[in-house]
């Protein structure tokens, strides 16, 4: 992403949880400032919040190191979840049968945007 776009992205590709559980946490931080989002994730009672926090920190580091953004002006523009691979396991059942167990993985995408700070010109009269 370019500097004139004022956006930066981070993707965590294999998070070991279902997308449904993860989207609850992602919806919780949408639209918040980056530092407030990290603080809220720290005190969230969901186990997945640690992985989302890691992805937000990665996006902040990308913004600071690769694009020289001011981290005080960053906010979470988008946070969305997609499906990734699914591990398939089987549990033995009665009479020689087996029942499937699906262990889904998710992909988290965090997009941060820098708010433009408007500088007001003081006019002397």
- pLDDT digits 0-9 by tens, 66-118: 888 888 889 999 999 999 999 999 999 999 999 999 999 999 999 999 887 66
Q: Which CATH superfamily is domain 7-114 in?
A: Ribosomal protein L22/L17 (3.90.470.10)
Res 17 pLDDT > 70: yes
Q: Are 63 and 71 in contact (CB under 8 A)?
A: yes
Res 2 pLDDT > 60: no
Give residue-wise pLDDT tens across range 21-51: 999 999 999 999 999 999 999 999 999 999 9
Q: Are 46 and 71 in contact (CB under 8 A)?
A: no
User: Which pTM does this prediction carry?
Assistant: 0.82
């Amino acid at each position: 992403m370019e500097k004139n776009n004022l956006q930066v992205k981070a993707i965590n590709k294999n998070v070991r949880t279902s997308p449904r559980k993860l989207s609850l946490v992602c919806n919780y931080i949408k639209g918040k400032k980056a530092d407030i989002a990290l603080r809220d994730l720290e005190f969230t009672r969901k186990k997945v919040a640690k992985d989302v926090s890691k992805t937000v920190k990665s996006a902040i580091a990308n913004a600071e190191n690769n694009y020289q953004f001011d981290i005080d002006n960053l906010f979470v523009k988008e946070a969305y979840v997609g499906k990734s691979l699914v591990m398939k396991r089987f549990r033995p059942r009665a009479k020689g049968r087996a029942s499937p167990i699906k262990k889904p993985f998710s992909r988290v995408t965090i997009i941060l945007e820098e708010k433009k700070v408007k500088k007001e010109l003081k006019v002397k009269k």
